[in-house]
Amino acid sequence: MTIRRLAFCASDRPEAKEARLRLIEIYGDVDETEADAIVALGGDGFMLETLHRTMGVSKPIYGMNRGSVGFLMNDYKEEGLIERISAAERAGIHPLGMTAEDHRGVRFDALAINEVSLLRQTYQTAKLRLSIDGKVRMPELVCDGVLVATPAGSTAYNLSAHGPIIPLNAQILALTPISAFRPRRWRGALLPHNAKVTVEVLEHDKRPVSAVADNFEVRRVTTVEIAEMRDVTLVMLFDAGRSLEERVLAEQFSA
């Protein structure tokens, strides 16, 4: 991939803003619509923000870590940036589509790169009914919540909830409970990537639940449908030998 024109964006962290100004002095800066690649300076949260914001631009994103967590970012180096990006490995990911209906009957659509999660809003546990492709698989799950994670997101909230790490090219989604109370020993399920997950909130007036697609939240939901969006492909760039697939694999052997 030949790279000539770069667009730089940065998070609100001072070190990210300072890095952006230094890099613009060295490499120049063009509008994102005219760039060969977009360079995102920040942490993983800012990378997700940039991917969401630029979905309509269809440009590859090369992140450099100027934040706290950098699993999705490359190491920050100012020299040889054009050459690094030109030699970078591409990781194409498909986001999840969420359609949530709230207690008023209003429907909301959102995309999630990492996961769609449902979480209880009060001190009372949530009661959820889980269906896969229209068939009820769990009539009642009593829990703090549940999430559906992509392979790219399997090392994020999903891993913290004791869900499995999924290789990037596995074409699998993780369905992971959050603090399951009944059935207590249920640890979740691995689903084919084309499965459609439907979560119904039981007793939603008494036990309100919110649904979150990355950073987009809908409160007091009654039904949430989740499915992979195969017609949407987001491209991230990683330094040679440090691909996202390699990072996901290495994470399974970390302490």
Do residues 126 and 219 make contact, with C-beta atoms less than 8 angstroms apart? Answer: no
Instruction: Pinpoint the residues of the chain covered by CATH 3.40.50.10330.
Output: 6-93+233-251
231 noted as active-site residue: no
Which one, of 124, 108, 127, lies nearest residue 116 by Cα?
108
Do residues 51 and 10 make contact, with C-beta atoms less than 8 angstroms apart? Answer: no
Q: Does domain 6-93+233-251 have CATH number 3.60.150.10?
A: no
Cα 37 to Cα 31, 33, 45, 112, 150, distances in angstroms: 10, 9, 19, 22, 24
- Check residue 58 and give its pLDDT: 86
Q: Which is catalytic among the residues 29, 44, 109, 205?
A: 44
- Check residue 255 and give its pLDDT: 64
Q: What is the pLDDT along the chain (255 residues), one digit of tens a residue?
A: 678 999 999 999 999 999 999 999 999 999 999 999 999 999 999 999 999 999 888 899 999 999 877 788 999 999 999 999 999 999 899 999 999 999 999 999 999 999 999 999 999 999 999 999 999 999 999 999 999 999 989 989 999 999 999 988 889 999 999 999 999 889 999 999 999 999 999 999 999 999 999 989 999 999 999 999 999 999 999 998 888 888 888 887 876
Instruction: Pinpoint the residues of the chain covered by CATH 2.60.200.30.
Output: 96-228
Which one, of 131, 151, 94, lies nearest residue 224 by Cα?
131
3-state DSSP call for residue 227?
strand
The DSSP secondary structure of 24-65, one letter per residue, reads HHHH----GGG-SEEEEEE-HHHHHHHHHHTTTT---EEEEE
Phi, psi of 246 (to 5 degrees): -65, -40
- Check residue 252 and give its pLDDT: 79
Tokens, residue 126: 């949530």
Question: H or E segment at 101?
Answer: strand 96-102
> Could you say which of 3.40.640.10, 3.40.630.30, 3.40.50.620, 2.60.200.30 is the CATH number of the domain covering 96-228?
2.60.200.30
- Check residue 2 and give its pLDDT: 79
The DSSP secondary structure of 132-187, one letter per residue, reads ETTEEEEEEEEESEEEEE-TTTTTTHHHHTTPPP--TTS-EEEEEEES--BTTT--
- Check residue 186 and give its pLDDT: 93
Q: Is there a cis peptide before residue 60, judged by omega within 30 degrees of 0?
A: no
Which long-range CB contacts under 8 A does 81-84 form with residues at least 24 apart? 81/6, 81/23, 81/26, 81/27, 81/39, 82/3, 82/4, 82/6, 82/27, 84/239
Rounded to an integer, what distance in angstroms lies between the CA atom of residue 46 and that of residue 52?
10
- Check residue 250 and give its pLDDT: 82
> Which pTM value belongs to this model?
0.88
